[in-house]
Amino acid sequence: MAAPRTLKTPIFTALDTAEVSEATGLAAKLADSSGGLKLGLEFFCAHGPKGVKEVQSASDLPIFLDLKLHDIPNTVAGAMRSVAQLGVFMTTVHAIGGQGMMEAAVKAATDTAYEFPVQRPLVIAVTVLTSFDANDLKSVGVGAAVTDQVRRLAGIAQRAGVDGIVCSPLEVAMLRQDLGPTIKLITPGVRPTWSVANDQKRILTPSDALAAGADYLVIGRPITAAADPAAAAARIAQEIAPVSSEKRVQATA
């Protein structure tokens, strides 16, 4: 079973917390205004599948479980079998794990979803972490420029059959051109004009990121740190509505 492709808004709110009560509280508040919720390693290492289920039952919103899996193909396939049983909307693997590892991840997700049956999670590849610059790449033996390495890894990920790529908003247009219209592009580093940038440096507004070709936006603090998180998410959803509905029309044309 493939995951449904339409959400009420393309915003995934990042719940960057290790506290179940904070995550479930935000999930309940955002049930009507966010498109989905992102849970990452901080939360998963503390609470595992049980914590994910608690968040799922607090809101019913699709979950982006951002685990950035990277190991030998057999181990990643095993991890993916467990992740797929959770019925999450999407999850991540590191493209640097290679084509064989990503193929194993996609196959495990597909087989598990068929067997249970649950919605198959979208398997999304992470290329070069945005905390890496050219010097960091060089220090681990990669002489390529960051952009070239992003493109190389994204191409390998696409050949492995992944459903999408996580990328910086400034890479969206380039990857959309390289990879074509069907692959999903997911971008953090998105900031509405009325919010503070925090520690994000390479940012676009939600509308600009969508117009450049992003499918889903990951937004954390502008929503979670707002006095009224539901109102902040609703405000962003309203701002992007013209661009999102235009994209929906194009997608179905």
184's enclosing H/E stretch is: strand 184-187
Taking the C-alpha atoms of residue 64 and residue 36, their distance in angstroms, rounded to an integer, is 7
Q: Quote the least distance from Cβ 203 to ligand C5P, whole Å.
A: 9
| CA pseudo-torsion sign 227, 231, 237, 241 | negative
Matching residue, tokens 């991890």: 79
Query: Which residues are paired to 13 by β-bridges?
Result: 37, 219
Q: Which is nearer to ligand C5P, 67 or 218 (CB)?
A: 218
Taking the C-alpha atoms of residue 82 and residue 84, their distance in angstroms, rounded to an integer, is 6
Catalytic residue list contains 68: yes
Q: Quote the least distance from Cβ 232 to ligand C5P, whole Å.
A: 11
Contacting residues for 55 by C-beta, under 8 A, at least 6 apart = 15, 20, 23, 24, 27, 37, 39, 63
Query: Which residues are paired to 157 by β-bridges?
Result: none
Assess whether the previous peptide bond of 117 is cis (omega < 30° from 0): yes
Q: Quote the least distance from Cβ 221 to ligand C5P, whole Å.
A: 3
| From 29, 50, 53, 68, active-site residue | 68
Q: Quote the least distance from Cβ 190 to ligand C5P, whole Å.
A: 7
What residue number has its CB nearest to ligand C5P?
220
State whether residue 120 is helix, strand or coil: strand
Q: Quote the least distance from Cβ 92 to ligand C5P, whole Å.
A: 9
Interface with ligand C5P (CB under 6 A): 14, 16, 38, 40, 130, 188-189, 198, 200, 218-221
**Residue pair 121/113 in contact by the 8 Å Cβ criterion:** yes
**Residue pair 235/224 in contact by the 8 Å Cβ criterion:** no
Q: Which is nearer to ligand C5P, 130 or 244 (CB)?
A: 130
Residues serving a catalytic function are: 68
